[in-house]
A = this chain, B = another copy of it.
Amino acid sequence: MVEDVVRTLGFLCMGSRLRRIGERLQADTQQVIDEAGLGIQAGQYPFLAAIDRSGPLTIGELAQAVGITQPGATRTIGQLLELGYVDMQPAPDDQRRRLVSLTDKGQDLVDHSKKVIWPRIAAAVADLCGNLDGPILEQLAAIEDGLAAVPLARRNAAKEER
């Protein structure tokens, strides 16, 4: 048995570790989706959810809502277009922007997911994380906000100045 270095090294490998856990969680989530017979990728859901919540959004707004870069959003929306879950049309007032909206098929998928799949996933994750002694979601939010406020690279400089 080999020791888990990433775990052993603690804060030093926090990035790798969060990624690793996230990948694992998302893979497990995918399994739940597949078992339900849905033909969609876990990573595509946030896009549909964003449009469902806010109404038609542009590529750039979607990228921002989902927290990835614009080319990534362009690609995922391209997939959802292929699958027929969304529709894309130039914004009437600005031809540069493309408004992405849910098709009927997409809305059906979202409605069904909201009723059946999402609660199941959320419950499973809550079951996994809920009993931890700290509010993990708030902590993640704090980390995100902290990084946005002062990136890691500048936390040394700041410290050395003191």
Is there a chain B Cβ closer than 8 Å to A92's Cβ?
no
Q: Using a Cβ–Cβ cut-off of 8 Å, how many residues does chain A contribute to the interface with B?
A: 77
Q: List the B side residues contacting A4 at CB < 8 Å.
A: 65, 67
Q: List the B side residues contacting A5 at CB < 8 Å.
A: 46, 49-50, 53, 65-66
Is there a chain B Cβ closer than 8 Å to A78's Cβ?
no
Across the interface, name the chain B residue whose C-beta is closest to A25. B15
Residue contact B16 to A124, C-beta cutoff 8 Å: no
> How many monomers of this chain does the complex have?
2
Q: List residues of chain A with CB under 8 Å of any chain B CB.
A: 2-29, 31-32, 35, 42-43, 45-46, 49-50, 53-54, 57, 61, 64-68, 118, 120-129, 132-137, 139-144, 146-147, 151-153, 155-156, 159
Across the interface, name the chain B residue whose C-beta is closest to A34. B153
Residue contact B25 to A22, C-beta cutoff 8 Å: no
Residue contact B11 to A159, C-beta cutoff 8 Å: no
Q: What 8 A-B pairs come out closest when comparing CB atoms? A: A134-B134, A19-B22, A18-B22, A15-B26, A15-B25, A28-B152, A124-B155, A11-B125
A16 to B26, CA, bound (A): 7
Residue contact A21 to B137, C-beta cutoff 8 Å: no
Residue contact A152 to B132, C-beta cutoff 8 Å: no
Could you list 16 A-B pairs, sorted by A, with CB under 8 Å?
A3-B54, A5-B53, A13-B45, A15-B27, A16-B22, A16-B26, A16-B42, A18-B22, A19-B19, A21-B22, A21-B140, A21-B147, A35-B153, A121-B152, A128-B155, A132-B143
Our pick among B26, B54, B134 for the contact of A136 (Cβ within 8 Å) is B134
